[in-house]
Amino acid sequence: MTEVLRVDLTNPDPDIIARAAACLRRGGLVAFPTETVYGLGVHALDSAAVLNLFAAKERPANDPLIVHVTSVDDLALLVAEVPATARELAARFWPGPLTIVMRRSAAVPDAVTAGLATVAIRVPSHPVARALIAAARIPVAAPSANLFSRPSPTAAAHVMADLGGRIDMILDAGPTHVGVESTVVDVSQDPPVILRPGVIGFDLLRTVMPHVGVLSDQPAEVAMPSPGLLTRHYSPHTPLLLYEGSRAASLALMERDARHSIDEGKRVVVLAFAEDIERVEPWAAQVVRLGNEANSAEVAARLYAALREADACRGDVILMRTLTSTDALGIAIGDRLRRAAAGRVVRE
């Protein structure tokens, strides 16, 4: 049985938080909201509990977890040393949607780091996440609370759909705010490297780390520097075809392919920006709204819910085009969509 407990977003009920914290301390699995997506929390220093978490998510053991703590002071137990760069990043961006990879200490179980010499750490800003970790008084390892390779959950209902019956508790504080996962930056290497783009973007990180690099967009199977960065990830069950390039060219190619699919008797679902709805309605069997393309924050917050809705339409194929925006969220969304499309990308 999975218990779902409603909590207030800004002022969570201390009794509910205490129950969830006790569950974590006992080795239980508790899903909770963060500012990015819902996480599935577990006692980070309890190897047996961590193995249960991998089983519940059907996550491969070679994909390491992020450890969540309440402040930079909690790093001492978990890392070998705190590099000066990490201190600067923490001062500037924590609490918030930034994960920092550092050399780990012996206290962190191999199950958490997938045997790597490094550990990923983040201090979330969501009041419920902060209250829970503080009450538990332990570091909390938490991947996104979805089944492996499914879209990350941005609402408690998404967690329930994937993990209901497999985990102990879900703290429901409504939809998450950012919508895409934290930026991951590895400072254990010099120069530091951004392993996963997020709302804290390259330009902002460069103000603290002028030499920071970006993991190249080569097929992740080749190098696998961060085992979680598999190409197939965040995917709906229905095949997703992604169109990259200008708006006009992408819409023209989408219409061509849609009409071809319809001729073959297929049902075409379109994930459309508000600006494109009228343009795609004549040939889409079903249209799922993504928000305004001009507002990448709105698109990010809707992205994973929209992917799940498009999947629920039970079409034969989902078509969508990427944002043309190159701000931090535009880049992060493009990265997640390429993974969701699992290589099915059409360019003009």
The binding site for Mg ion (CB under 5 A) comprises: 144
* Cβ–Cβ under 8 Å, residues 56 and 145: no
What is the C-alpha separation between 47 and 70, in angstroms, rounded?
21
Residue 37 in contact with ligand TXA, rule: CB under 6 A: yes
Among 52, 154, 182, 296, binds ligand TXA (CB under 6 A): 182
* Cβ–Cβ under 8 Å, residues 35 and 177: yes
Residue 111 in contact with ligand TXA, rule: CB under 6 A: no
φ and ψ of 319, to 5 deg: -110, 140
Least separation in angstroms between residue 10's CB and Mg ion is 26
The closest residue (CB) to ligand TXA is 228
For residues 140 and 313, which CB has a smaller minimum distance to ligand TXA in the complex? 140
Count, residues in the chain: 348
Among 16, 36, 205, 306, binds ligand TXA (CB under 6 A): 36
* Cβ–Cβ under 8 Å, residues 144 and 37: yes
Residue 176 in contact with ligand TXA, rule: CB under 6 A: no
Scanning 113-121, 131-139, 212-220, 285-293 for contacts with ligand TXA by CB under 6 A, the matching segment is 113-121
What secondary structure letter does DSSP report for 274? G
- What binding mask, one character per residue, do residues 49-88 give for ligand TXA by CB under 6 A, x or -? --------------xxxx----------------------
Residues 138-157 that bind ligand TXA (CB under 6 A): 142-144
Residue 42 in contact with ligand TXA, rule: CB under 6 A: no
For residues 328 and 346, which CB has a smaller minimum distance to ligand TXA in the complex? 328
Question: Under 8 Å CB-to-CB from 302, ≥6 apart: which residues?
Answer: 179, 289, 290, 291
Residues 278-317 that bind ligand TXA (CB under 6 A): none
Encode 297-324: b = buried (16+ Cβ within 10 Å), e = exposed. Answer: bbbbbbbbbbbbbbbebebebbbbbbbe
For residues 124 and 315, which CB has a smaller minimum distance to ligand TXA in the complex? 124
Residue type, 146: N
Query: Mutual orientation of helices 127-136 and 14-25 as an angle, nearest 10°?
Result: 50
* Strand order across the 240-244 sheet: 286-289, 268-272, 317-321, 240-244, 345-347
The β-bridge relationship of strands 30-33 and 169-172 is: parallel
What is the C-alpha separation between 89 and 235, in angstroms, rounded?
31
* Cβ–Cβ under 8 Å, residues 145 and 163: yes
With residue 85 as reference, give the H or E element that holds it.
Answer: helix 84-93
- What binding mask, one character per residue, do residues 189-228 give for ligand TXA by CB under 6 A, x or -? ------xx-----------------------------xxx
Q: What, of ligand TXA, Mg ion, none, does residue 37 touch, CB below 5 to 8 Å by kind?
A: ligand TXA
Scanning 93-101, 214-222, 310-318, 337-345 for contacts with ligand TXA by CB under 6 A, the matching segment is 93-101
Q: What, of Mg ion, ligand TXA, none, does residue 142 touch, CB below 5 to 8 Å by kind?
A: ligand TXA
What secondary structure letter does DSSP report for 214? E
For ligand TXA, the binding residues (CB under 6 A) are 34, 36-37, 39, 63-66, 97, 99, 101, 113, 116, 118-120, 122, 124, 142-144, 181-182, 184, 186, 195-196, 226-229
